Structure 1
Amino acid sequence: MALDRWIALILLGICLVYGYTAWFTMDASLAPFMKRNPIWPSTFPKVLSVLAIGACLVILSGIEKSEPKEAEIDYRRLHEYKLGQAIVLLALMVAYALCLRPVGFIISTTAFLFFGSFVLGERKWILMISVAVIATMIVWYLVQEVLGIYMRPLPGIFGG
């Protein structure tokens, strides 16, 4: 079985567990007044699980396959790909998730975007810093002011 089908099989298992949780366990703890709403907190996870299961089944069945291309991933040559970048980006994502509350949204998101672009090969420092700061501030403004969801912008020692 090809590498993409193995990955789809693993993702199918994860999506089935996620779908079971969304369909059967999330709705049991709803308050009585929320059970009359047309959209529940589990609506998006239900839709997401159905779409993900469908996508995994399409990949497993091979419907999306056309003629074989030379650019496909060969699992026997994984050592030739840039796995170091992928692993460092995954480590950056974990560090970002762990630093989000104690460091604050603005500093941790700016640092994640800056170091992520550095890992991917960008070396224009001014561009990297300006894009990271502008993107962070736009996202923080949209979440904080437009959606009304409070996110700690700075660490607690700076008054965040």
Structure 2
Amino acid sequence: MALDRWIALVLLGICIVYGYTAWFTMDGSLAPFMRRNPIWPSTFPKVLSIIGIVASLVILLGLEKGEEKIGDIDHRRLGDYFIGQALFLLGLMVVYALCLRPMGFVFSTSAFLIVGSFILGERKWHVMVPVALIATGAVWYLVQEVLGIFLRPLPFFMGV
């Protein structure tokens, strides 16, 4: 069995356990007044588990490949698969997580998006910077103002 099918099998097991938890154990501890709500805290995990199960089954059954045969990963030629870019992105994610609180959301997220797109090969700075700033500002506004969740926008030494 190919590597993608093994990963899909593992993800199928995880999604089944996650779905069982969402469908049967999360709803039992709800307060009585919350049981009349149309959307419960378990609604999103239920939807995620269903999507994960369907996607895993599609990969397991080979429905995503269609007529065209997609080659399996050749483990003898891992150097041909841009492992360096993947490792740099993983390192960048760790740095982003560590800088998020002290440097603030706006700076950390903008820097992550700009450096990440540079690692992936984008060289148009006049496109990268505005897109990163607009995306960061939109996400910050939605989380802070619409959802009402405090998200430190600026570094700790600038107040707020």
Calculate the TM-score normalised by the size of structure 1. Answer: 0.84
Work out the CA distance in 2 between the residues paired with 1:23 and 1:31.
16
Equivalent position of 1:74 in the other structure? 73
- 1:111-150 correspondence runs (5 A): 111-150=111-150
**Shift of residue 126 of structure 1?**
4.2
- 1:1-160 correspondence runs (5 A): 1-69=1-69, 71-76=70-75, 77-160=77-160
**Shift of residue 122 of structure 1?**
1.9
Q: Deviations over 1:122-152 (max 9, x none)?
A: 2333433332222211221233223333211
Question: What CA RMSD, in Å, does the superposition of the two structures yield over aligned residues?
Answer: 2.1
The worse-fitting range, judged by mean Cα deviation, of 34-43 and 97-106 is: 97-106
Work out the CA distance in 1 between the residues paired with 2:134 and 2:98.
22
Q: Deviations over 1:26-64 (max 9, x none)?
A: 223322211222210110110110121121112112233
Matched pairs, number: 159
Calculate the TM-score normalised by the size of structure 2. Answer: 0.84
Aligned 8 A contact 1:3 1:75 in 2: no
Q: Deviations over 1:71-120 (max 9, x none)?
A: 53423333311121122212222332333233221011011101101111
Structure 2 counterpart SS, 1:18: helix
- Structure 1: gaps (5+ residues): none
| % identity of equivalent residues | 70
Aligned 8 A contact 1:104 1:155 in 2: yes
Aligned 8 A contact 2:19 2:49 in 1: yes
Work out the CA distance in 2 between the residues paired with 1:18 and 1:104.
32
Aligned 8 A contact 2:2 2:72 in 1: no
